[in-house]
Homo-oligomer: A and B are copies of this chain.
Amino acid sequence: MGHLIELMNSLFKEIRNNPLLWLLVFVPVLFAAAKLKPEAHTLLFVLSVLAILPLAVLLSHATESVAAKTGDSVGGLLNATLGNLTELVIAATALRAGQYMLVKASVAGAIVTNTLFMLGASFFIGGLKYHTQEYNRVTARFQAGLLFLATIALLIPSAVSQADSATAMAFTQQLSLGLAVLLIVAYGLGMVFSLKTHRELFSSAESGETGEAPWPIGLALATLAGVTVLVALVSEIFVESVQEAAVAFGMTPAFVGFIVVALVGAAAEMAAAFSGARKNRLDLSVGIALGSASQIALFVAPVLVLLSYVLGPVPMNLQFWPGAVVMMLVATMATSLVTNTGRSAWFVGLLLLMVYLIFAMTLFLLPPRAP
């Protein structure tokens, strides 16, 4: 009992330091509202977004604290697998509800948002303060290579698929399962490469060190468990309300999945990436943005395919809407082109942001029945 009080104290201290955590008040408010006014979709949508943001920050901090305690390799592994826990929980909730369109849109959107918006805004914010900035391009190239592989894997089912016959569906499903396994293997071997055999190449990338002191391991583990449950509960309300709220706001489902869900899910990482850019620690920003994108592409997306066999009404495949494939392909190419030199200035960030804006505008205007 005294232990619990100590934990609570640490947590409250944390909340006092980080103003974003005041938003935690919206978690009980949301649950109350969901009980009292289950039909108020727009209200529930806004409340669930406000509730997810602080939970994502806590989850991110808890993961890092556990990682910091468990030593380098296990810590790196933990960070690399749980870094996008928020996205994973939201998508798994949508999966359980059978909303595969939303799941796929949020996966594609997360890749595009992390590479174009998070990286672009980091370059732009950093560039407003510093004339030019440098970063370790080995990290960037490595992540761009992983992203390239994942993009090919997500492109192939659309590129070779035929009419919607039963044979074609079975083929796409088998192929998706194979691709999922292959991507997870590639992700695992990529960690062996970057954390073990060739770690010295990635040395200057200070990813993971956000400068805050890590929590005690007990608090970290308890937070990790408790907050994951809370995120799952909040996500359920979020997923239920998002489509109808979208209509109320005049947004297309494609825009909601691709842009809104992706931005909400990545809010915690963004805060860290932007703060790194402002402190001229661009290695941190590049590591978070591209690492997060490749983790979603090579780990979260395939895990969702595997989970769909357990959680979903029918198995999910990796065949994306062609427009989403084009956007992921463009995002990967843009990342490759831009990170080629290891130098950045404000206009480099602006170019990435402009490409993101083009995609956001397209999805916003897209007639509802499209994807």
Closest to A167 in B: B367
> Given A326-B155, A340-B340, A358-B153: A193 and B345 within 8 A (CB)?
yes
* Complex: A159 Cα to B320 Cα, angstroms: 14
Distance in angstroms between the alpha carbons of A341 and B182 in the assembled complex = 26
Measured CB to CB, the closest approach of chain B to A42, in angstroms, equals 25
Contacts of A347 in B (CB 8 A): 142, 189-190, 193, 197-198
Question: Which of B142, B152, B355 is within 8 Å of A149, CB to CB?
Answer: B355
- Please tell me if the beta carbons of B358 and A152 are within 8 angstroms of each other in the complex: yes
A354 interface contact, C-beta 8 A: yes
Contacting residues, chain B, for A345 (C-beta < 8 A): 193, 197-198, 201
A159 to B106, CA, bound (A): 19
User: Does A359 lie at the interface of the complex (its beta carbon under 8 Å from any beta carbon of B)?
Assistant: yes
Q: How many copies of this protein are present in the complex?
A: 3
Chain B residues near A278 (CB-CB < 8 A): none
A233 close to chain B: CB less than 8 A: no
Report the minimal beta-carbon distance from A101 to chain B, rounded to whole angstroms: 15
Inter-chain CA distance A330–B150, complex, in Å, is 12
Q: Which of B182, B358, B359 contacts A354 (CB 8 A)?
A: B182
A178 on interface, CB distance cutoff 8 Å:
yes
Is A350 in contact with chain B by the CB < 8 A criterion? yes
Which single member of B156, B326, B346, B367 contacts A362 (CB below 8 Å)?
B156
B358 touches A145 (CB 8 A): no
CB–CB B361/A182 < 8 A: yes
Within 8 A of B (CB), among A301-349: 322-323, 326, 330, 333-334, 336-338, 340-341, 345-348
A345 to B142, CA, bound (A): 11
CA distance A149 to B116 in the complex (A): 12
Decide if B148 touches A337 in the complex (CB within 8 Å): yes
Chain B residue at minimal CB-CB distance from A144: B337
Using a CB-CB cutoff of 8 Å, which residues 126-142 of chain A contact chain B? 131-132, 141-142
Binds B, one of A47-55, A168-176, A268-276: A168-176
A230 CB–B CB distance under 8 Å: no
A152 and B367 form a contact (CB under 8 A): no
| Residue on B nearest A189 in the bound complex, by CB | B350
The reply to whether the CB of A162 lies closer than 8 angstroms to some CB of chain B is: yes
A4 within 8 A of partner (CB): no
Tell me the smallest distance from the CB of A123 to a CB of chain B, in Å.
12
Question: What would 18 A/B residue contacts be, using CB atoms closer than 8 Å?
Answer: A131-B198, A132-B198, A148-B351, A149-B351, A149-B355, A155-B326, A155-B330, A156-B362, A159-B326, A160-B323, A160-B366, A160-B370, A171-B365, A171-B367, A174-B365, A193-B346, A193-B347, A198-B345
Residues of A within 8 A of B (CB): 131-132, 141-142, 144-146, 148-149, 152-153, 155-156, 159-160, 162, 167-168, 171, 174-175, 178-179, 182, 186, 189-190, 193, 197-198, 201, 322-323, 326, 330, 333-334, 336-338, 340-341, 345-348, 350-351, 354-355, 357-359, 361-362, 365-367, 370
User: Which 7 A/B pairs are nearest by Cβ-Cβ distance?
Assistant: A193-B347, A160-B323, A159-B326, A167-B367, A178-B361, A186-B354, A175-B365
